[in-house]
Structure 1
């Protein structure tokens, strides 16, 4: 119970983890390009842990291939998340151990391939959950025995392959498969079986194919009816197997029996067994001479009147005369491949077998095909297929096939034919397929194919043909496929392709063509669909040419990749004009310097474009280069040197599904360019030096969380700066601004300013205004002049007053300070300010060119802006420059409440003694006024420097006659002098 709970918990965790995955990329697997998350390949990975390879695959997987990996263990519950699997390959790995529950939950699995591993032992219940399995391969492992009941649950198994193991006990094998009622094929080749002895079990009635080749069988040792349902039995390469081994074994149901390389005497075997002689393959059964063949044929004739096929391959036959004439009528194929025949003598040894339809003498020692146009020639009018492949034929004489006028397929490929007579193929009017590839032919003539007007396929690949002469193919009006690849063609004469009015596929790759022949203009109008020109020497010197493909209106596949020696360095922008039906274009492995923006304009039907390795250095793809490729579904642009990926270049590829960009040089990819590819589902950007910087933060986010595009091996992509760090998880926190936080602080700042500014305006308006003027003066030449004027002290006092108090200033202040024997010089607004000068500059100049500033304070003074500025300037010199220049004279009593809002003035009053003008309500106004003027005179004569140094000498505008305290002492009449 605890184990079941743990399993369910692990399943829940795995499923939960899968649901959290938003991206569409996998660490160790690649989804098949058109599978829609159902088929995956995990090949050549360095991961030993199987779970690490497949743990990020979606539950929708149907087909999974795990090949060529160092995986050694398949642990329990490995595929618990992949319950929809139907096809599973874990071949060519290092698997040694398979857990008992490794394949648990795979109820839908139909095919399991565990071949080419190191499995030596299997748990009896390892396949217990695979109830729907139909195919199982354990090829090339180290199995020595099978556990009892290992296949008991595989009731739907159709094919079981266990070849290339070390199995020795056939009885255990028979017992393990006896209950498989649907098993049809059992392959036990390459094991160590010595017999087919068994207990009372029987093979399934459904089993019809049994392969037992390359074992150590010396006897069958099975019961009479044990092989009663077998139709195909292969006992080849059991060298110890003798004729007596078949004694008492029922072989009546056999449709095909192979006994190659055994010790069975085939004639004796046919006499003693009940096998149908027509169903025995006589290849490699020791029939080395004509006497043995004659015995066989005579025996066959006693058993059957006619036979379909006679296979005599690999018997070491060197010569045949009339031997096969003793055989029953052969209505099918005669195969004499892998023998030592040196001549076939126009098939004269088959003179009574004129009904055969196929003859093959491949892998023999034939050196020539002689002429067969002679008297008393045997004609094989039923023969349709003739093959002499893999021989040493040097020459083919005239009328070499005159005796086989109705053949449809002739295979002369993979020989050394250097001479093909002009009339060698004469008379073959029904020939449809001719294979002459991989020979040494140098010339073709207009008579060569003149009788082959029904030819559909002509293969001349890999010869030494250099020129296609006029009229060579003139009669081949039904030819569909012409393969001239791998030759040395440098020239096609003007009428060399004439007559090919039905040609659909034309292969000219691997030749020495230096230009595209003009004959293409007219030869294939409306017929050609495939044209292969790759690996020639085609080049262009001009970007403006007349397109050689203009009339190829049905061309769908064009290959021009790998031109020698330097490739298509110049790609004319008019080269592909007229190819509106082209579906595939290959330009791989060229060295193109420039691709014009209108090069692909006419390729409106293109589905596939390959540009791999096609450019030199950095490829600067121009905006609009793909503007008309709206049907393109696959673009391979690997190792092109692409530096920038932008929507201006790739944005019009609206139907693109697959994009391969690996091994380019761009350091970043614009996400908006990828978002302009709405159907993209496969993106390969491996081996690109993507920088792990903020310019790729959007790309990282897009690759990790998009749910439509598979990024091939995203989690293995390294950072350009440091290969140990991965692109998918480099730190991007510094790249983002929290928009909510940004808006909060911005809004708070605005609200704060709108709240504080009015308060500052009300409370500090003059201080700020004053500061503005001070700083304006400070950095101007005027400031320097004012400082110099201060040292000379042009005035003894600057009188700051309101115009409503001007009468008192003129009637009282001015006569008492400048008249009556006084020597003071005063600065007054109306008298001493410079005409035409800014009033603020006049005020600043007056304050700084006077030893003292006398402020005549009244109610009107307090309400005046200019007076406020003047007292601000004076108080600045008092507090900031430490100069005792400010004298306050109150013309009228002002209450504390009225002064509460004038902070600067209250600060001055707290620091200094001020004078109060005695009004008419005084007891003795005359005496009070005299005292007032006496105190003012006395204050005017004090120095302007605030210092405690008793020995300090006078400087600047300081009166040198007296150095009195900066405070005026009070007297009995102190109500005139208010502290």
Structure 2
């Protein structure tokens, strides 16, 4: 399967990449089996062909820097028919480099640095027919170099350094099918040989060598029909010894010592088979003598190019006028109405690259009734007078282009009633008159390109009823009136590009509306400021299929008016590029149902996104060029209904993300160009990467789609596995619980650390409860929680009354300064003391409330109260603290909501009652079911409850 092969070789070169695109080649849009890999600076063949399919038939790897062709370079391309390796730096061709190319027909190795050919260099090319080795450094050819080429027809070894003709003959003598051998531009000095030329060889080019003495067998060239010996040092006597009986064309130009008349005298070649160019036949005597030799011959063509002829006397060729005469590249200044020729036989006359200055009036000249073609191009003609071609009434084609014609007189072309093609392009013509083309009623093609025409007067073309092609491009036309195109009843192609036309209307083309098919208005000065105004200059051109409006000067169209393209029901090609459009209406292309090609390239002057539905009616569109229009997004609403689109150019846009659904919607797409778009290597392009690796749409150089700001990173191999939804879900499910724990644990820890720590101690205590008696459960009767600022009261009042009093009334108290274990963590000491005490006695003052450690001790005691469900907390207030002050201490507030307190009285008599109540509170039942002790204020009022 074809695409399987593509994927296979793609993987060989770039692991994990299987997209239908090629690293260094572009598949031809029109010819599916043709690939171009040019101008890629490649250093080896493998870089080009490694990812190409094995069905490739045409391959161009020219204009690179390849130096060596290794064995088996094209081994996976057995169907290859044409291979171009020209314009490289190839020096070495290894044996077997072309192995397995059994279907190759043409091989181009031109313009390299090949200096030698080994015997097995062309092994495997048994069906090769054309071989190009010109412009190399070949100095010698091995005798068996071409032996595998059994079907070779054409070989070109021109412009090398070959010196030994015998060596070349020895390498080709076994080629029984060889027809053409080109050896021009070498260093041959003779045709010395040891073997005969192949009997099939009929065309031999030996021009631009150093041949002087042929030094060969006289029958060496006996079977050659086309022989080029120009630009050597041959003489007539040398060549006259050769058997040239089969020669039908002999070129001898620029052999400085060659005497053509001595050669003609020997009758080695009949005179009509010789090209007489460059033989110094530059005077009347030589031309007359030549004509005497040609007189008895039925001459078909006489070529006298580059002889330095300055003038031609009247009737000089009267006795030897051929049917076709070429006088190009001489020094002629006048034609004198062709009086130097015999009128009866001449059919075509070519006088190019001369010094002709004017064409005179030939109204009374003898007519050349058979003359049909005249070419005076590449001269210096500045004036064409009236009836200048009066001698050629039956002329069909006339070429006056590339001259200096500024004056084309009225009736200059009169009498040419059968003329079908007239070229006046690249001249200096400024004015065209009604009578300029009066008699050209059969004219089919008129080319006036690149002149200085500024005005097309009314009725200028009124007599050209059969004109089909009119080229007025490259002039200075500023406007066209209603009658400018009057009379052009069959005009199909009109070229007005490169002018200065500023306005067009529906009347402009009214005279050609029923026939016009191609209209070129490129590079004029059309401009519209708003797309809202309704304007339709093409509404009647129902047969127009090609419209060019690109590159309007100097700032482009800017806007396309509403309904501008209305009426173009047959339009298939539309060019709107280089117009710097600022906006396009969504309905701008409505009605163009037959459109197949559309370009908006290089319109980046404000267009950032196309309007939705702009292409919705282009159901037959095949090619869409949106290169460099500042496009930022691709959406289905823009590119809907493009089901027949085959080629999409998106090069040089601001696209960072490609919606793959847009591409999938283009079901016929085969070619996509995304070069120089800043596509990001993010999850936004995850689907694009998958599409690149799976689609059969050719993406131009997909391996060069790099990530902006990330050197050596590319879209095709960027790691996007984390973008996979299944992987995302897996990682989410796996990591979310841990992340949640990492978030929750610190919060819980910070808020409930002490409670957790205390519960730990409760658990440890529970383990020991089964082994201890009730008395052994508690080490202290009470843990005293106080602030250091209240130490005087604790030591002066609390201890004497509760611990150091009568033994029967004494309690075991735990004080932090005395009973905490040295070296142990203070928090552990507090927790342990609270746990090992039956009660916790809190001595509360303002300093106590501000102390964090005291707050911690009370909180731990409250945890014990809640856990054991019994009264374990005794509160003693040393100061009167208002409700407002207490309300700011939330932890104390929560405890006081459930507990009453005992206040320290200032009266001595009341203190006895205070200590009695404290003792009662400390002796209270430790059982959960015991009656809860209540504390009272000294004045027997309601207890103070903190709220």
TM-score, with length taken from structure 1: 0.75
Q: Provide the rounded CA distance (Å) in 2 between the counterparts of 1:108 and 1:552.
A: 49
Offset at 1:601?
0.9
Name the structure 1 match of 2:263: 269
Name the structure 2 match of 1:162: 157
Q: Provide the rounded CA distance (Å) in 2 between the counterparts of 1:945 and 1:285.
A: 139
Q: Does 1:429 align with 2:380?
A: no
CA contact (8 A) 1:692 1:721 kept: no
Find the residue that maps to 1:246 and give its secondary structure. helix
Q: Provide the rounded CA distance (Å) in 2 between the counterparts of 1:637 and 1:968.
A: 91
Name the structure 1 match of 2:790: none
Q: Does 1:349 align with 2:340?
A: yes
CA contact (8 A) 2:240 2:268 kept: no
Offset at 1:733?
2.6
Q: 2:362 is matched with which residue: 357, 363, 372?
A: 372
Q: Does 1:204 align with 2:198?
A: yes
1:433-472 aligned at under 5 Å gives the runs: 433-472=421-460
CA contact (8 A) 1:162 1:187 kept: yes
Name the structure 1 match of 2:633: 644
Offset at 1:329?
4.5
Name the structure 1 match of 2:307: 315
Q: 1:495 is matched with which residue: 466, 473, 483?
A: 483
Name the structure 1 match of 2:137: 142
1:523-922 aligned at under 5 Å gives the runs: 523-543=511-531, 544-706=533-695, 708-738=696-726, 742=730, 882=862
Q: Provide the rounded CA distance (Å) in 1 between the counterparts of 2:913 and 2:439.
A: 133
Q: Provide the rounded CA distance (Å) in 1 between the counterparts of 2:88 and 2:567.
A: 51
Q: Provide the rounded CA distance (Å) in 2 between the counterparts of 1:349 and 1:467.
A: 39
Offset at 1:520?
3.6
CA contact (8 A) 2:240 2:263 kept: no
Q: Provide the rounded CA distance (Å) in 1 between the counterparts of 2:45 and 2:181.
A: 29
Name the structure 2 match of 1:338: 329
Q: 1:174 is matched with which residue: 150, 158, 169?
A: 169
CA contact (8 A) 2:347 2:371 kept: yes
Offset at 1:50?
2.2
Q: 1:520 to 1:493 in 2, by over 3 A?
A: closer
Q: 1:467 to 1:561 in 2, by over 3 A?
A: same
Q: 1:966 to 1:294 in 2, by over 3 A?
A: farther
Q: Provide the rounded CA distance (Å) in 1 between the counterparts of 2:555 and 2:912.
A: 97
Q: Provide the rounded CA distance (Å) in 1 between the counterparts of 2:59 and 2:466.
A: 44
> Per-residue displacement from partner, 1:381-438 (whole Å, max 9, x unpaired)?
1000011111111111111111111100011111111111111011100000001111
Name the structure 1 match of 2:219: 225
> Per-residue displacement from partner, 1:84-140 (whole Å, max 9, x unpaired)?
211100000111111111111111111100000111122111101100101100010
Q: Does 1:293 align with 2:287?
A: yes
Name the structure 2 match of 1:792: none
Name the structure 2 match of 1:842: none
Offset at 1:516?
1.6
Offset at 1:205?
2.0
Q: Does 1:188 align with 2:219?
A: no
What root-mean-square deviation, in Å, do the aligned CA atoms of Structure 1 and Structure 2 show?
Answer: 3.0
Name the structure 1 match of 2:91: 96
CA contact (8 A) 1:358 1:383 kept: yes
Offset at 1:959?
4.7
Q: Does 1:960 align with 2:940?
A: no
CA contact (8 A) 1:884 1:943 kept: no
Q: Provide the rounded CA distance (Å) in 1 between the counterparts of 2:912 and 2:408.
A: 132
Q: Which runs of 5+ in 2 are unaligned?
A: 1-5, 738-838, 840-856, 874-897, 903-910, 929-947
Q: 2:28 is matched with which residue: 21, 26, 32?
A: 32
Name the structure 2 match of 1:252: 245
Q: Provide the rounded CA distance (Å) in 1 between the counterparts of 2:316 and 2:505.
A: 52
Offset at 1:170?
0.8
Q: Provide the rounded CA distance (Å) in 2 between the counterparts of 1:427 and 1:559.
A: 36
Offset at 1:704?
2.5
Q: 1:731 to 1:15 in 2, by over 3 A?
A: closer
> Per-residue displacement from partner, 1:339-398 (whole Å, max 9, x unpaired)?
111111000111x24211001111111111110113xx2210100001111111111111
Q: Provide the rounded CA distance (Å) in 2 between the counterparts of 1:609 and 1:446.
A: 38
Q: 1:236 to 1:956 in 2, by over 3 A?
A: farther
Q: 1:739 to 1:297 in 2, by over 3 A?
A: same
> Per-residue displacement from partner, 1:636-656 (whole Å, max 9, x unpaired)?
111111111111111321111
Q: Which runs of 5+ in 1 are unaligned?
A: 1-10, 750-851, 853-876, 887-903, 913-941, 947-952, 971-979
Name the structure 1 match of 2:108: 113
Q: 1:221 to 1:962 in 2, by over 3 A?
A: same
Q: Provide the rounded CA distance (Å) in 2 between the counterparts of 1:586 and 1:675.
A: 26
CA contact (8 A) 2:485 2:509 kept: no
Aligned length: 770
Find the residue that maps to 1:679 and give its secondary structure. coil
Q: Provide the rounded CA distance (Å) in 2 between the counterparts of 1:115 and 1:954.
A: 126
Find the residue that maps to 2:60 and give its secondary structure. strand
Offset at 1:307?
0.5
Q: 1:716 to 1:945 in 2, by over 3 A?
A: farther
1:70-89 aligned at under 5 Å gives the runs: 70-89=65-84
Offset at 1:178?
1.1
Q: Provide the rounded CA distance (Å) in 2 between the counterparts of 1:272 and 1:554.
A: 65
Q: Provide the rounded CA distance (Å) in 1 between the counterparts of 2:418 and 2:863.
A: 128
TM-score, with length taken from structure 2: 0.77
CA contact (8 A) 1:209 1:232 kept: yes
